[in-house]
Amino acid sequence: MTFFGHPLPALFLYFLLYSFLGWLMETCYCSVLQRRLVPRGFLYGPICPIYGAGVLIMILFFTPLKGNLLVFYVVAVAVMSAWEYFVGWLLEVTTHMKYWDYSNHPFNLKGRICLWVALVWGGLSYLVIFWIHPPIQQLYNRIPPWLVTTLCVTLLAVLLADTLLTLRHLALISKLVRGVSAAVQQLQLQLSLGRAELSDLLAGQTAQLRDRYGEQVASIQASYRQQIARLERQSRRFRNRYANMRAAGRYVVRSEDIRAAAERAKEEFVRRKQAIQHDRAQRRQHRRQ
C-alpha cells in the first residue's frame, strides 16, 4: 500500500526517525540556551511529532519543486510556517498550554510563528530534501521486508501507548487548569464583593461621623475665626496707638529684660496650650460617655 508513490511503512518509519531527530535538535538547542537539560516534545518519548509530520510534508509535496530552488524555498517557508501555526493553535486549544512562544521575537504572529523561524524552516527543508533524506531512503531500501514489518508493529504499539498515557496526563492537567481557573474567578468575585461592602461601610461611617461631629467642627471653626479676627483688631489698635512712640533717652533696653520677657511669654504659651489640650480631652471623654 502506497501514498503518493511512497510505501506506508516507509512513511511511518520516516515519521518516527525525523520526529526523534527533531526532538534531539530542539532539546540540544533549548538546553544550551538554558544551560541545563530541557527535554522537549509533546509525548513522553523522545520524539516531536511536529518535525516528523513536517518532514513528511516536505517529502510528499516539496520534492517535485527541486528543479527551482527559489520556488522550493518560498513554498517551504510558507507551508511549514502554516503547519507550525496550526499545530501551536491546536495544542493551545486542546491542552490549554503553550509549548513554544515567539512573542519576544520581532515579526511574530500571536507568538506561534515568527520571521526568523520561518526562514529556518526553508533552510531545513532544503537540507532534508537535498542532503539528509536521500541516504536515509537508500538505507530503508536495504532493510528486509520482515524487519520493516517488525519495526512498524513494535514502534506503533509503543507510540500508541505513549500517546494514551500523554493524553491521560493532559486530561488531568486540563481538569486541574479548569479547576484553578474557576477558583481564581471565584476569588476575584469574592474580592469584588468585599471591596463593594467595605466601600459601603466606609461611606456609612463617614456619613455618621459627619452627622455626629459636624456641628462641633463647625463651632470650633467659627470660634477659631472669631479669635483670629479679635487678634487682628487688637494688633491694628496697638499699631495705631503706639505708631509714634519713641523710647526715652534715659531708658536702655537690656538683654536680661528681653530674655525674661521671652521666658514669661513662653510660659504663658505653654500654659494656654495645656489648658486647650485638657479641655479637648474632657470633651472627648464627655462624648464617649
For 102-137, write each residue's pLDDT tens digit: 888 888 888 888 998 899 888 888 888 889 888 988
Q: Give the pLDDT score at 251.
A: 46
Q: Give the pLDDT score at 211.
A: 65
Q: Which residues contact 97 (CB under 8 A, 6 or more apart)?
A: 91, 173, 177
CA distance 94 to 77: 26
Q: Which residues of the chain have pLDDT under 50?
A: 247-251
Q: Give the pLDDT score at 247.
A: 47
pTM, to two decimals: 0.56
DSSP string, the chain: -EETTEEHHHHHHHHHHHHHHHHHHHHHHHHHHHTS-----SSSSS--HHHHHHHHHIIIIIGGGTT-HHHHHHHHHHHHHHHHHHHHHHHHHHHS--S---TTSSSEETTTEEHHHHHHHHHHHHHIIIIIHHHHHHHHHHS-HHHHHHHHHHHHHHHHHHHHHHHHHHHHHHHHHHHHHHHHHHHHHHHHHHHHHHHHHHHHHHHHHHHHHHHHHHHHHHHHHHHHHHHHHHHHHHHHHSTT----TT----HHHHHHHHHHHHHHHHHHHHHHHHHHHHHHHHHH-
Q: Give the pLDDT score at 154.
A: 92
